[in-house]
Amino acid sequence: MTRTRCDRTPAWAALESAYQKEGHAFDVRTAFATDAGRFEMFSQQAPHVFADLSKNRIDANTQALLFELARQTGVEQHRDAMFAGEAINHTEQRPVMHWLLRNPALDHTELAKEAPENIALELSKVHTTLDAMLAYAETVRADVQITDVVNIGIGGSDLGPQMAVLALNEFAVPGKRFHFVSNVDGHELAAVLKHLKPESTLFLIASKTFTTIETMTNGLSAKRWFEAHGGTDIARHFAALTTNVPAANAFGISTTFGFWDWVGGRYSLWSAIGLPLAISIGADDFREFLAGAHAMDEHFKTAPLERNLPVRLALLDVWYRNFHGFTSRSIAPYHSALRRLPAYLQQLEMESNGKRVDAKGETLPFATSPVLWGEPGTNGQHAYFQMLHQGTDVVPLEFVAVKKPMHTLENHHELLLANVLAQAQALMVGKEDAGGHKHFTGNRPSTFLLLDELTPASLGALIALQEHRVFTSGAVWGINSFDQWGVELGKVLARDVEARLLKGDVNGLDGSTAGLLQKLRAS
Ligand code: F6P
């Protein structure tokens, strides 16, 4: 299907004039004062996640135009193409099917009815691997000799499992420590190895391609350390999580769990890359995690756009990025276990949608991915919230709060929830009676996501929600959200610079790189 570029649709033009007329001066406080039903209209329950969008600079008219924009840019068709297994990652000629990793096996015949035969076939591979990986996870959990699990991977092979293991710490098996080593900087691996013994350590070498220089370097050093410290049984102490099993075998690892090229790196937490999480929370809870995400997949697939939460969040992102011109979005999880969520979402959003050409390779005249950043609350309040309240830029903020705590300490949770509510309120209402330094303009937009509890299922749903939201804004912008050619140039240049550093060769280099290289080599 040929899709119309967003800025050439009638809805885009209508949004531009809506912004010029009223949108730029829209005041959320006035909107609440004049519409008693605003909270109901701009909030909704989706699987495991309640969302309040009512504190955003949006009204019924803008929202209707945004839904039109989604329709006119073919978002639904693009979504259906993804779920039909079409090669929508066209620059790599691959389908995009991370959602299949969370499809229950029971749905197999149902799926076969509506999906092409090849998807049903992939699903059976998914479940064979999942069963094997979860059986292995259970063995490791029961193995009291293994006290330390070290995940060596980077990007999607690190951020997802790291974020999720931390988030679901309350569900973790006792007696095991989890470590995540990603950086090629040897300080990171060295600091972890210092506390380990080969006989009680399991190394998971996580790399979709099994070629990534950081992971290969760390993996090799881990193997050398293991052997140098008397370790012999590589099959027991090393496992590889990869689509490239032959490369893992060539590396000397025989225990492997595979996945497929139709799983993007930043979407791979649901595959064998999720093994650290499976070891931590166990097979049943890992299946719950997948089920939570699957519930969100079904919601995204079937809910009308008007009640489709990923779509509503994405359209708001587009409204802010392209019409208000906001350049960043901040995420503030009010739960310390979600402290790696901002880093995870940063890769998801910025590696997916940080593109300046459309699917045909044509330069886009409009903005795409915002900068995504954040820290957990309440910490952020004592660091950069000053700028959110009184700075010159408007930064839409996304709060994530959890209703029920898992601890029994008195007062803490009430205080935490009071703070998250108060921050959202303060951003909106401001303080206009005071002048100068004490003046708060207010009308600063925020979205509030609320989970009942932080469980494997709700975390799964929250992550799938964010994936589909990124999918939707990418679809409106008409870009390929599933490649990442932008990381290649740095990789190629690093190889060249590495050779030059060794030899001191600055021939043909720009003045700055040459100067720095010489400084690094000077004794
Ligand atoms: O930085 C690019 C990238 O390919 C990411 O997309 C990916 O998550 C990361 O590198 C790690 O790749 P791999 O899992 O193949 O080692």
* Whether pLDDT at 113 is above 70: no
Atom of ligand 1 nearest to the CA of 159: 8
Alpha carbon separation from 266 to 57, 166, 372, 426, 487 (Å, rounded): 30, 17, 15, 34, 13
Atom of ligand 1 nearest to the CA of 215: 16
* Whether pLDDT at 38 is above 60: yes
* Whether pLDDT at 428 is above 60: yes
Nearest CA to ligand 1 atom 4: 265
Look at 4-13, 46-55, 427-436 and tell me which has the smallest mean pLDDT.
427-436
User: Distance, CA 154 to ligand 1 centroid (Å)?
Assistant: 6
Atom of ligand 1 nearest to the CA of 156: 8
Which of 257, 275, 487, 491 to mutate to test ligand 1, by most ligand atoms within 8 A of the CB atom? Answer: 487
Nearest CA to ligand 1 atom 2: 487
Nearest CA to ligand 1 atom 3: 155
Q: In the prediction, which pLDDT does 305 show?
A: 98
Q: In the prediction, which pLDDT does 46 show?
A: 98
The model's confidence at residue 210, banded by pLDDT at 50, 70 and 90, is: very high
* Whether pLDDT at 108 is above 60: no
Nearest CA to ligand 1 atom 9: 155
d(CA 347, CA 339): 15
The model's confidence at residue 106, banded by pLDDT at 50, 70 and 90, is: low
Look at 291-300, 449-458, 481-490 and tell me which has the smallest mean pLDDT.
481-490
* Whether pLDDT at 434 is above 90: no
What pLDDT, in 10s, does the model give residues 335-393?
999 999 999 999 999 999 999 999 889 999 999 999 999 999 999 999 999 999 999 99
User: Distance, CA 93 to ligand 1 centroid (Å)?
Assistant: 18
Q: In the prediction, which pLDDT does 435 show?
A: 82
Using N-to-C axis directions, what is the helix angle for 283-302 and 456-477, rounded to 10°? Answer: 40
Nearest CA to ligand 1 atom 10: 155
Q: In the prediction, which pLDDT does 110 show?
A: 65
User: Distance, CA 493 to ligand 1 centroid (Å)?
Assistant: 17
Neighbours of 511 (CB within 10 A): 8
The model's confidence at residue 107, banded by pLDDT at 50, 70 and 90, is: low
Atom of ligand 1 nearest to the CA of 209: 15
Tell me the percentage of the chain whose pLDDT exceeds 70: 98
DSSP per residue, 458-502: HHHHHHHHHHHHHHHHHHHHT--TT--GGGHHHHHHHHHHHHHHH
Neighbours of 169 (CB within 10 A): 15
d(CA 204, CA 210): 12
* Whether pLDDT at 333 is above 80: yes
Nearest CA to ligand 1 atom 8: 156
Residue 193 structure tokens: 């190895």
Q: In the prediction, which pLDDT does 291 show?
A: 98
User: Distance, CA 328 to ligand 1 centroid (Å)?
Assistant: 24
Helices (H) and strands (E) in the chain, counts: 21, 11
Atom of ligand 1 nearest to the CA of 264: 6
* Whether pLDDT at 221 is above 80: yes
Average pLDDT of the segment spanning 187-192: 98
Which residues lie closer than 8 Å to 313 by C-beta, 6 or more apart? 51, 53, 447, 465, 469, 472
The residues annotated with a catalytic role in the active site are: 351, 382, 491
User: Distance, CA 405 to ligand 1 centroid (Å)?
Assistant: 34
Average pLDDT of the segment spanning 75-83: 97
User: Distance, CA 51 to ligand 1 centroid (Å)?
Assistant: 31
Which of 92, 96, 157, 348 to mutate to test ligand 1, by most ligand atoms within 8 A of the CB atom? Answer: 157
Which of 92, 151, 209 to mutate to test ligand 1, by most ligand atoms within 8 A of the CB atom? Answer: 209
Q: Which residues line ligand 1 (CB under 6 A)?
A: 154-157, 207-209, 212, 215, 265-266, 351, 484, 487
Nearest CA to ligand 1 atom 16: 207
User: Distance, CA 259 to ligand 1 centroid (Å)?
Assistant: 14
Q: Chain-wide mean pLDDT for the chain?
A: 96
Atom of ligand 1 nearest to the CA of 214: 16
Q: In the prediction, which pLDDT does 118 show?
A: 83
User: Distance, CA 212 to ligand 1 centroid (Å)?
Assistant: 7
Q: In the prediction, which pLDDT does 111 show?
A: 62
pTM for this entry: 0.97
